[in-house]
Every structure is written in structure tokens, then in C-alpha cells.
A and B are shown apart, each in its own frame.
Chain A
Amino acid sequence: MEPFARHTGIGVPLKQSNVDTDQIIPAVYLKRITRTGFEDALFAGWRKDPGFVLNREPYSSGSVLVAGPDFGTGSSREHAVWALKDYGFKAVLSARFADIFRGNAGKQGLVAAEVDQQDIELIWKELENHPGTEVTVDLQGRTVTCGAVTAGFQLDDYTRWRLMEGLDDIGLTLRTEADISAFEAARPPFKPATLPARTA
């Protein structure tokens, strides 16, 4: 995972609440075998509507999604986070996130920043009046800035630290690599190994 300190990119106003993961990525896309390349699947249903925000310039090249409350509810599919990341989003701002989505986002290096709804609405106004306005998400100071609007956001200390260090779960576990190696050295010799292969 890339360490995340601060990101500036075009803000995308998604003026809807309860954006569930079935909307973020429909089930039909779950059959794929890759972990990347889900950009076409993001909001696939909604993108059939030419008026949808991501079908409009300059929002289509945005990287900070500014959404209504209760973002990411429903199915636990990790693909929802993959699709947002693959499209190019680095951060999602919302007044409230579903727990599983928030957890998945943290694991995959997508910043899920909890911003008060009144600030979200100020940012929406800014982004609609001046399409293409950039939003800066500063993890160090836990602030978002968009035009004249500056607001704080919530993100738990542990997730913030992990994002800033660029540590995914695996990266974190590998920090205890010495402990793992020590454990391995002490494993009983009778424990089976799959290699070299033995067959009947």
C-alpha cells in the first residue's frame, strides 16, 4: 500500500444517501478473477444514465468522492473498494460509513473520511458552482479543503496511522516477521509439509 499523507484532486458530488455496495458494484462483476480492472464496474447501473455525475466533465476525472450519509451499506464485497480505487478515487467523504465498508477501505488504502453533513453540503455547493474544484484531503491534520471550505474529519487513530505508514494488514503482520520466523524455527519436526510431494 502507498503511504498516504495528503491528496488533492477533483471533487465529485454524489448527492445521495444510502449508497449500497450493490450500487457501487453490481453482483454480476464478482465472477472476475482479477483484483484490478473494476473501473468499468463502478456504479455500473447508474453510469447508464448520461446525466450521472461521473458521465459529466470534469467530474469524470475526479478522485475525491463526496457522498451523502450511510455510504457503503449492504453486501460485504471487497470489490466495492477495489472498484472505487480502480476508477481513481483516493478518498470518499461521507457523514457516515457502513462498518464493513469502512473496514474494507482501511485494508485497501482508500481513505473513508467522516465529515459532518453540513460541511458535506457546503462542499457540494462549491463543487456544483465551480465544477472541477479540487478537494485536498490532509490525513496529517485530518482536514478537508475545498475552495473556501475547510472542515475537519473523523478517522480512527489506528487506521490513520496505518494509512500514513502505507501498511495493509499483511504489511502489519510482516512487521512481526521475526516472531513468525522464531515460531517457525520451534515448530515440531513431525508437522507435515506438502513439499516434497508424496503420493500413494
Chain B
Amino acid sequence: MAEITENAVNPAAPRTLAEKVWQDHVVVPGEGAGEAQTPDLLYIDLHLVHEVTSPQAFEGLRLAGRPVRRPDLTIATEDHNTPTLEIDKPIADPVSAKQIQTLRDNAREFGIRLHSLGDAEQGIVHVVGPQLGLTQPGMTVVCGDSHTSTHGAFGALAFGIGTSEVEHVLATQTLPLKPFKTMAINVEGTLRDGVTAKDIILAVIAKIGTGGGQGYVLEYRGSAIRSLSMDARMTICNMSIEAGARAGMIAPDETTFEYIKDRPHAPQGQDWDAAVQYWSSLPTDEGASFDAEVFLDADALEPFVTWGTNPGQGVSLSDTVPSPEQFEDPNAQAAAQRALEYMDLTPGTPMKDIRVDTVFLGSCTNSRIEDLRTAASIIQGQAKDEDVRMIVVPGSARVRLQAEAEGLDRVFKDFGAEWRFAGCSMCLGMNPDQLAPGERCASTSNRNFEGRQGKGGRTHLVSPVVAAATAIRGTLSSPSDLTAGQSQFQEA
């Protein structure tokens, strides 16, 4: 279609990936300029829905007598509230059960496709979209969930929205939005063995801070990003929100196309050729300028872990727990002091000496098949530390089936880990999987806020590689800490 390559602006001017996707979705441009500019009305290609942030939006539609404009661009799944054990039994918590039932009723009433607990396509909303091939380059994707940024790994503009906006998208398939600024995150070089996408994004957040990305769409670029798989790219874009950015993006390339091809909702035949042609036009043009740039040396990166209670409070695994005096800013000092008290940590303690009670492998950050393969390759043939419990929660029922077909479930079970059903699980204290007060966890999830994984729980954010090695040694570890004969690990 001719519209695909036409630009509302001067087509010769070099543009960033984010600007191209934005401009291709403007239904009605805003008026005025600068601060006073009214919002652009943007078309939304895909709306993902889950049980927690949708009930009032559907209620609003019902009260106003409005239908869902495009049920065919909307898909729902159950993830936040769902248990990961005994999923064939009724949900025990009445509030959770009611939210789930409400989603089921709403999906039926408004004609929305829903993958319920027990369905082979059920799972964390941000794992389900890409796996079905519904997330594609150049799309606008929204969901009432801040980790919608995950889908930016495909070169889509994807961001979380509030309940009123959920209702707005359901009713109109559009959103009024003010333009954003762009920030390039350049990661050049080659990652060492045992260093992964999770370490890149934790290092980025530690570098720019949890508010550093505010008002920006981040574009992750450079040779280290190009060499990553789609699963790894999703891990990076997923945590853009932890740097304060609403969205993060990675330019689509052969790796992206290869991932999408032959998935259930991938374009087929002529559509595929047209799609690839369009997708290939999306990467940031030579000479396009970003409003801000950040540089990171991939060669210098080590496994990264957090010591505090926000995702920016991280250090290299070989480092020690910092002391509040190391921070110049008085607010950062106070935050560090408070975090150390909550985490019950003493400055100067080597991170590798920190003993954990629990290892959680899961969440929309790290629960895809590659994450499971990587962790399984490290623990295979190893013994788990006796005092550590390890919970493995695949991101979707489909990931679980795939893992079982590959025998990964047996590796985890033989190791002594719990093999669970799909869901958000222990990433957020909303379902039965929670930390007890004082319990310390090495977690592959995305937020180490006070109480996030359960009241009084203490979270260290880690990669699946570190999670696996930690489960073996009982203290925060990387595979290089394992004794000789335990070194069969290879980077996935």
C-alpha cells in the first residue's frame, strides 16, 4: 500500500525509529507547537488486556453504552492474580477470583479473545503477544501494565497506560498523546561469557538512574544489542520503565523477522513480503539525531545485581555493598541508608557473600524459553544448595510445554526446583507466590521495591545465569564461581 512509505513530514529528513512509528500512526495531528501543543491522536494496532487494570474500563463502556471498537485488535489473558500451583482448582483468594471472573464476563460480553488459566496460550501478557506473532515491528502496542515496553524489542512503540486510557482505547482504538523525546542507548562490544541482556539493562539503569529516562523513548543500539536474540532484547526493553522511560525500542532486523516468521499471526504470502519491506524501512536513518545519548561498553560489563530497593541501586557481582557516604546527593544518601536497613545489609560486604533463601526464575523480564534453557544448562548435573528453595515459573503455558518437550522440567525437578504453571507469580505480591517477611530472594524479575515480592521480602534482581549459579552455591554467584567440573555452561 502506498500509505506505508509516505511521510507526513519531509521524507528526506533523517528520522529515528520511534519517530517513524509515531508518524505512521497519527490519525489527527495536534495543533500548536512546543509546550502548548495539543496531543496527536494516535492509532493503536494492538491492545493487550489483563484482569487487574481492565474492570473499571469495561464498566465505563457499559455505563456509556459504548461497544469495543476493534475486538479484532484486542486480546486478553489472565496472569497477575493467577496461582501457579493446582490451577485446576478454584482460585482461593475471593478478591482474585472475582477479578478473574470479571475479565471472563467482560471478554464474553464485548467479544474479546481471552486465554484463560488452563488454556495453552495463557500466560504473562507480554510473553503471550510476541509468542503468538501478534507483536510485530512498526506497531503501536498498549496495555494497562507498565512492562508493555517489552514489545519494543520488535521495533514497536509499546507502552503502559492507565485505566481511563484502557477505556479510551477500547472505545476508539486511539489515544491522544503528546510527542516524546528520544534517547539513544549505545552498547558497543561483545559480552563476556556469563554476562547477559539482564546485566546490560541493570547497568543502564544504574548509570542513568530510575528517573533518567523520564519523557524519553529509549532506543537500544550498537553491536552488543544487534547480536542479541529476541528473548534477550525483550529482557532489555522490558525494564525501560525501570529507568523512568515509558518505552524502549530496538530496530527490527533479520533476527526479528526470523523470530516472527511462521508464528500463528505472522503475515503470510504476499503480506509477508510487504511487511518485511516495510519493517526494513523502520531503523533509524543515518544522520538522525537523538535528544540525548548514553554509551555503555559491553566488553567491560560483569554480571550485575542489585543491593537496594530500587532497580538503580545495583553493582557488579564482584563488588561490595556500598556505603551511603559513597553517594554525593543527599537524597541518594538517605535512600541508600534506608535501603540498607530494609535489606539488612552492611556496607563493605562482598555481594558474593550474601546468602539467599529463595531463587525465583520467572516474570515478564526473564521467563521465556531461552531464560529457562540458560538456567537449566548451568544447573544440569549439579546439586542445589540444601537451604535454598528455587521456583521456576515459565512465562506462558506454551513456554512450559516447550520446556517440557525439551526435558528442561526434568532438569529443574532433578535439581530440586519447583516447576510451576505460568503467570506473573512471585514478581509481585498479588497471588499466592510471595516472600515471607525477612526472606531474601535472588529474583530474575524487574522490581526490588520494598514489599514488592511480599511484605518484608528482600529482593536482589539478577539474570537467569546468576539465579542458577546462586541456587547451586546458596550465595549470590556467577557460573565462574562454580568449582572445576561445573563449567559446562555455555552462553545460549
Contacts and interface: CB of A to CB of B under 8 A. Distances in A.
A33 B136 contact: no
A188 B56 contact: no
A78 B162 CA distance: 10
Given A170-B171, A173-B176, A191-B136, 9 more contacts: A35-B55, A78-B162, A170-B66, A180-B173, A184-B43, A186-B3, A192-B265, A198-B132, A200-B132
Contact of B120 (A31, A187, A199): A199
Contacts of A179: 27-28, 41
28 contacts: A33-B55, A34-B59, A35-B60, A35-B63, A36-B59, A78-B164, A169-B168, A170-B66, A170-B168, A170-B172, A173-B41, A176-B27, A176-B28, A179-B27, A179-B28, A187-B43, A189-B1, A190-B275, A192-B133, A192-B134, A192-B265, A194-B71, A194-B73, A194-B134, A198-B132, A198-B264, A200-B120, A200-B121
A76 to B, nearest CB: 8
Contacts of B164: 78, 107, 169
Contact of A193 (B1, B60, B72, B121): B72
Interface of A: 1, 31, 33-36, 78, 107, 168-170, 173-174, 176, 179-180, 183-184, 186-195, 197-200
A149 to B, nearest CB: 35
B75 interface: yes
B482 interface: no
Nearest to B173: A180
Given A180-B27, A191-B45, A34 B278 contact: no
A191 B268 CA distance: 11
Contact of B63 (A36, A78, A190): A36
Given A36-B63, A169-B176, A195 B56 contact: no
Nearest to B278: A188
A106 B354 CA distance: 51
B167 A170 contact: yes
B55 A183 contact: no
B98 A33 contact: yes
B163 interface: yes
Interface string B245-286: 000000000000000000111110001101100100000000
B95 A195 contact: no
Contacts of A107: 164
Interface in B41-100: 41, 43, 45-46, 55-56, 59-60, 63-64, 66, 69, 71-75, 95, 98-99
